[in-house]
Amino acid sequence: MSIVAISETAGSLGREIGRTVAATLGHEFADREIISKAAERFGEGVLELTHATEEKPTLWERFTETQRRYMAYVEAIVLEMAARDNVILVGRASTIILGKIPHALRVRISAPERARAQQVHQQLGLTAEAALDYVRRSDHERAARVRFLYHVDWDDPLSYDLVLNTERGAPGGAF
């Protein structure tokens, strides 16, 4: 019986590592599927739920309950999937949502900004400058969303059981 929740930064290879670990262990894997399941179950749009989990809240959203309702839908799916055990969950604040479950391993996967920008540059074909901007904007938006919804610093290493720097994970920074 195992549950692994992974928090990743853009370009850190967290999703790829999670997928590989799930395949190796024969576990279910979910990242974006969490959003599509929540959208289907609760009759909401995938774009709205994605925004609620990934982007900085607008000023208007800070005064409405819509974003908190959307997150409740996502949380319900994360908890439902975790209850089945043998699952690897990436993102969607799963490390926070499952924080009080003693047998859930909470993993933070990151790397230095420049290494992540290089990965994004290769994966998305952006210019080096655009890739660095993408990484910085992603970090800022996700940190703001987590702070708004859960009042925690998503970068605090004490919030995780394991912190992995993918730049140092293997020769050449590859896993």
CATH number, domain of 56, equals 3.40.50.300
CA distance 36 to 31: 10
Average pLDDT, the chain: 91
- What's the rounded mean pLDDT across residues 129-148? 93
Question: Contact, 67 vs 52, CB < 8 A?
Answer: yes
Closest to 86 (Cα-Cα) out of 31, 25, 38? 25
- What's the rounded mean pLDDT across residues 142-167? 92
pLDDT at site 24: 95
Residue 118 belongs to a domain: yes
Question: pLDDT-based confidence at 152, cuts 50/70/90?
Answer: very high
**Residue 110, beta-bridge partner list:** 165
CA distance 73 to 93: 12
CA distance 76 to 121: 34
Six token digits for residue 47: 């774009």
Question: pLDDT-based confidence at 53, cuts 50/70/90?
Answer: confident
Say what the pTM is. 0.87
Task: Give me the domain span that covers residue 25.
Answer: 3-167
Residue 172 belongs to a domain: no
Task: Tally the domains of the chain.
Answer: 1
Residue 174 belongs to a domain: no
pLDDT at site 1: 63
- What's the rounded mean pLDDT across residues 153-174? 81
The answer on pLDDT for 84 being more than 70 is: yes
- What's the rounded mean pLDDT across residues 128-157? 93
Residue 173 belongs to a domain: no
pLDDT at site 168: 83
Question: Contact, 35 vs 92, CB < 8 A?
Answer: yes
Most distant CA pair in the chain, distance? 48
pLDDT at site 133: 97
pLDDT at site 67: 83
Q: Name, in order, each residue with C-beta under 8 angstroms of 57's C-beta and a sequence gap of 6 or more.
A: 67, 144, 145, 148
